[in-house]
Amino acid sequence: MQTTIYSINDKTIKKAVELFNASEVVAVPTETVYGLGAVGTDSVAVKKIFEIKGRPSDNPLIAHVHKDYDISKLVYIEQDYVDKLIKAFTPGPLTMVFNSKGVVCKEAVGGGSTLAIRIPSHEGCQKLLKALDKPVVAPSANLSKHTSPVTAMHVYNDLNGKIEMILDGGKCSGGIESTVVDCTDKVPRILRAGLITKEMIEKVVGACLIAEHKSSDKVRSPGVKYKHYRPNCQTALYNENEIDLAIKRYDKEASEGKRAFIMCRDDLKGEFFGKNLLLLGKTEEQIASNLYDKLLEGEKIADIIIAIAMPDEKNINLGIMNRMRKSCE
Ligand code: TXA
Ligand code: MG
């Protein structure tokens, strides 16, 4: 199959809608990462997503809808705080998990009884969802376990020959996947950290729990094991107070003829004078936005990426560290 990248506009949106309605999958831009979409009520199309990605069938997908879509057609909204979350954070990088009404097919939700809903803010994506006017289930548009794509070219590199159409909506501004919040209980619970933080949710609804593993335990990991978000090269992760160890590691790898790169925040670059660098930016937002892009750039030019951890796990740093740790495990 020939894979073509099309710039997203009214004409290509029309073509994408035709493909969606013909049980095909299409890669679409969002403000977080690119998604591999299919109509959520179409089990034939949904099964293609799992096959193409090599994704375990019990890992549920997020249903994406436009901002005027009545989500109560898909799910039971049982908690009062949901309205506040919707008003404050949508359209945007927030995914809410509800009890499902079963409209979206069971293949999309791993046979479970809940459904995750997201209203993306990316303008082209909104236009597409509006034109289709159906829920689009979409995981990140990468092969399972690989780093998530933040450009159309990243999608192409993973899925070339496996899908017909990639809609190019530019580089994703957010850069890490949406915050997933379980909204079935009295207090919202973050299942996956992201750009909408615990602190932001607490401000709007009072309380917010974190279900995610938030360990500050040992971050260094020399492993070459293939896991979630991993680039196709060796990786290692060092804490900020282990810069001397990171430098030693770099020198050792380089002395063995390996192309080593340090991946760090801009303000640390003075510590690594004369070394190959992948710079992530200054602010938390910039770092989140650049993380996958730099990992995917790194896998092309480096034998090993030596990453330096964020100084804490507050606010957006929690989501960043969650990805950094997994991608460098
Ligand atoms: O930003 C994003 O969320 C991107 C873009 C494309 O929208 N999508 C994305 O999808 O990251 P995916 O499939 O790579 O990750 C979805 C996450 C997984 O951790 C999945 O387990 C969780 O959301 N999830 C989906 N449905 C769920 C449900 N019903 N209950 C609990 N977790 C769910
Ligand atoms: Mg993913």
pLDDT in tens, the chain (329 residues): 999 999 999 999 999 999 999 999 999 999 999 999 999 999 999 999 999 999 989 999 999 999 999 999 999 999 999 999 999 999 999 999 999 999 999 999 998 999 999 999 999 999 999 999 999 999 999 999 999 999 999 999 999 999 999 999 999 999 999 999 999 999 999 999 999 999 999 999 999 999 955 444 443 333 333 357 899 999 999 999 999 999 999 999 999 999 999 999 999 999 999 999 999 999 999 999 999 999 999 999 999 999 999 999 999 999 999 999 999 87
* Ligand index nearest the alpha carbon of residue 34: 1
pLDDT given for residue 267 in this prediction: 97
- The whole-angstrom separation of Cα 59 and Cα 261 is 33
* Ligand index nearest the alpha carbon of residue 193: 1
C-alpha distances out from residue 315 to 19, 109, 193, 267, Å: 39, 29, 9, 19
Name the closest-CA residue to atom 19, ligand 1. Answer: 192
CA 139 / ligand 2 centre spacing (Å):
6
319 lines ligand 1 (CB under 6 A): no
95 lines ligand 1 (CB under 6 A): yes
- The whole-angstrom separation of Cα 75 and Cα 176 is 25
pLDDT given for residue 212 in this prediction: 57
Name the closest-CA residue to atom 20, ligand 1. Answer: 60
Name the closest-CA residue to atom 3, ligand 1. Answer: 178
pTM score? 0.95
Beta bridge partners of 94: 179
CA 166 / ligand 1 centre spacing (Å):
20
112 lines ligand 1 (CB under 6 A): yes
- Listed in sequence order, the residues at least 6 apart from 207 whose beta carbon sits closer than 8 Å to its beta carbon are 187, 188
Q: By the 8 A CB rule, do 64 and 125 touch? A: yes
CA 176 / ligand 2 centre spacing (Å):
10
- Listed in sequence order, the residues at least 6 apart from 84 whose beta carbon sits closer than 8 Å to its beta carbon are 204, 205
pLDDT given for residue 213 in this prediction: 55
Ligand 1 atom at shortest distance from the alpha carbon of 174: 1
Which among 52, 74, 177 is the best mutation to test ligand 1's pocket, defined by most ligand atoms within 8 Å of the CB?
177
pLDDT given for residue 328 in this prediction: 87
**In what helix (H) or strand (E) does residue 24 lie, and over which residues does it extend?**
none
33 lines ligand 1 (CB under 6 A): yes
121 lines ligand 1 (CB under 6 A): no
CA 42 / ligand 1 centre spacing (Å):
18
109 lines ligand 1 (CB under 6 A): yes
Name the closest-CA residue to atom 13, ligand 1. Answer: 139
Name the closest-CA residue to atom 12, ligand 1. Answer: 139
- Listed in sequence order, the residues at least 6 apart from 308 whose beta carbon sits closer than 8 Å to its beta carbon are 237, 238, 239, 240, 243, 246, 262, 263, 264, 265, 268
Q: What SS3 state is found at 35?
A: strand
Longest dimension (CA), the chain: 61
Angle between helices 10-21 and 123-132 (to 10 degrees): 50
Q: What SS3 state is found at 84?
A: helix
Q: And the tokens for 227?
A: 């896991």
Q: How open is the CA angle 293-153-56, to the nearest 5 degrees?
A: 80
- The whole-angstrom separation of Cα 25 and Cα 17 is 10
